[in-house]
Amino acid sequence: MLRHRAAQPLLFTSCLLPLAWLLYRAWTDALGANPAEALIRASGDWTLRFLCITLAITPVRHVLGAPGLARFRRMLGLFTFFYGTLHFLSYGWLDQNFEVEAIVKDIAKRPFILVGTTTLLLMLPLAATSFNRAIKALGAVRWQQLHRAIYAAALLALLHFFWMRAAKHNFAEWGVYAAIVGVLLGWRLWRWVKRTAAKDAWRLFGVRDRPTRIT
């Protein structure tokens, strides 16, 4: 099913549903008393959700033994950047009326906006190199090293969300995202420690590389 030719178009359509729902609510004036704030926050929420889903692809692929999931990671990563860009544009338009000077001053003045902007800038080169030509141009090793920046982006996104919620002392939702990101990054750390320990063990026997790969 994961390799069916309709799988990617179906995923692409599904990823657009949050945008369609936001546009529908805006069109029907159903965003509440503060539509601008609702759009800004909703687009930010979906950025964090897509970031979590993207980070979950590799662990779920290994745990379930479903290598076919890897083909969806690029699309999900690009949609993370898409919703992050939408989040920033919503802020720039609805909160600052696209006044560049005001936006720059606001970014410098408010730490949580500075962190959010940094997160988006960190994701920019990842989105720009999410294509086969970029992988060939950079080389697999350098490309992988560059795309590990997604871990820093996840942590910065959590910090951005935490500071935003701190104004209202509402950390329940943030705690859920923090737990999810913690598990996903913790799994990667565990895998790295396991792999490193295995390499060190083989070196004790005079073997430079493991004869088989640990999955």
How does residue 208 score in pLDDT terms, banded at 50, 70 and 90? low
What does the pLDDT read at residue 213?
Answer: 44
Highest mean pLDDT among 56-60, 161-165, 205-209 belongs to 56-60
Distances (CA, A) of 133 to 76, 146, 190: 19, 15, 31
Short-list 148, 207, 158, 214, CA closest to 181: 158
| Cα(12)–Cα(76) distance, integer angstroms | 9
Say if residues 72 and 57 touch (Cβ distance below 8 Å): yes
- How much of the chain exceeds pLDDT 90, in percent? 73
Which contiguous run of DSSP H or E holds residue 179? helix 172-204
Span 20-44, pLDDT tens digits: 999 999 999 999 889 999 999 999 9
Domain ranges across the chain: 7-171
How does residue 201 score in pLDDT terms, banded at 50, 70 and 90? low
How does residue 166 score in pLDDT terms, banded at 50, 70 and 90? confident
DSSP letter (8 states) at residue 168: T
pLDDT over 80 (residue 3)? no
- Please state which of the ranges 68-72, 102-106, 109-113 shows the lowest mean pLDDT: 68-72
- How much of the chain exceeds pLDDT 70, in percent? 91
Between 184 and 4, where is the model more confident?
A: 184
For 163, residues 6+ apart whose C-beta sits below 8 A from its C-beta are: 111, 112, 115
pLDDT over 70 (residue 209)? no
Q: What's the residue count for the chain?
A: 215
How much is the mean pLDDT over the chain? 90
What pTM was estimated for this model as a whole?
0.89
Average pLDDT over residues 174-180: 95
The most distant pair of C-alpha atoms in the chain lies apart, rounded to whole Å, by 70
Which contiguous run of DSSP H or E holds residue 47? helix 35-64
Short-list 144, 153, 143, CA closest to 121: 153
Distances (CA, A) of 85 to 98, 139, 162: 14, 27, 19
Average pLDDT over residues 68-97: 95
Please state at what angle helix 149-166 crosses helix 35-64, rounded to 10 degrees. Answer: 140
> DSSP 3-state assignment of 110?
coil
